Structure 1
Amino acid sequence: MRAIAAGADSASDLGRHLSIAKQSAAKTIAVLLERGYVVRQPDPRDARRKRLQVTPLGFEVMHQGEAIFDELRTQWERQLGAAELAILERQLTQLVGSAPIRFDTPGWIARDLDGSA
């Protein structure tokens, strides 16, 4: 939903933004539509096109998710300490990198920890 809120207003756009196949994006959109988190609205610039928009419910769900993560991170910081949590975050970034992982790329699962195939 965050990608849609940021402007990914079609299955193609969402697929590119999330680095997934258009078909996977379309399935994701179908679930979001079914749950009422997004709607399709006519594009004011192109009557043939429908644009995705996040609904108020969708924004509420995103805000709830952010609050849950903030609570978890605070709990981890209490358990580990700020310095240790910062080290863990740096280590996780080293393991997975800062670039998104494309799950639709052949052989992605066999990727080494350093990012090579």
Structure 2
Amino acid sequence: MAEGYELPLLLFAGFRSFIDELHAELAEQGHPDVRPAHGFALQAVGPGGATAGELGRRLGVSKQAAGKTVERLERLGYVERADDPEDGRRKLVRLTPRGVDVLTRSAAIFDRLRARWVETLGEQRVGALEADLRAMVPGGGFRLDAVGWFGS
């Protein structure tokens, strides 16, 4: 019988292998500076944009930490700040075409990585693994505030 600590470490190692391969491919495809935390932030910005405060809440970090992430992503060309059409006093963080590109490429790479797992383990086993994990994860899914949780 496996030790109790092995399961979370194996789950994390599987996650890490996906993320490491994703970032290696993204670097080859013109996105060498994007980091795992950036992916969470870009997802949290979403297609409609977000204020720095909203971004912080979505990521589970302070508004100041979210602001620093936005500054970094802005320097890298993944987001831009624009006036909020609903409230001229606020600034919205929005994805740039480069930000959309990295998310689109990431989705395609994740699909290829999953396909490799299917090739090795079979569709039935991978599907069962995904179903079992969905059953065990509180709330039925992944939360973007993992970045804040890791940093706590």
Is this a same-fold pair by TM over 0.5?
Answer: yes
User: How much does 1:87 deviate?
Assistant: 1.9
Which blocks of at least 5 consecutive residues in structure 2 are unaligned?
Answer: 1-41
What is residue 58 of structure 1 aligned with on the other side?
A: 99
Matched, 1:35 2:76: yes
Describe how 1:1-117 pairs up with structure 2 within 5 A: 1-97=42-138, 98-99=140-141, 100=143, 104=148
Count of aligned residue pairs for this structure pair = 107
Asked if the contact 2:74/2:80 (under 8 Å) is kept, the reply is yes
The one-letter amino acid of 1:81's match is: G
3-state SS of 2:103 partner: helix
TM-score, normalised relative to structure 1: 0.74
The alignment's C-alpha RMSD in Å is 2.5
Asked if the contact 1:20/1:102 (under 8 Å) is kept, the reply is no
**Structure 1 residues 29-83: Cα deviation after superposition (integer angstroms, max 9, x where no partner):** 1221111100001223333222111101110011111111000011111111111
User: How much does 1:86 deviate?
Assistant: 1.4
TM-score, normalised relative to structure 2: 0.59
The one-letter amino acid of 1:73's match is: R
The one-letter amino acid of 1:91's match is: D
**Structure 1 residues 11-31: Cα deviation after superposition (integer angstroms, max 9, x where no partner):** 111122233332332222122
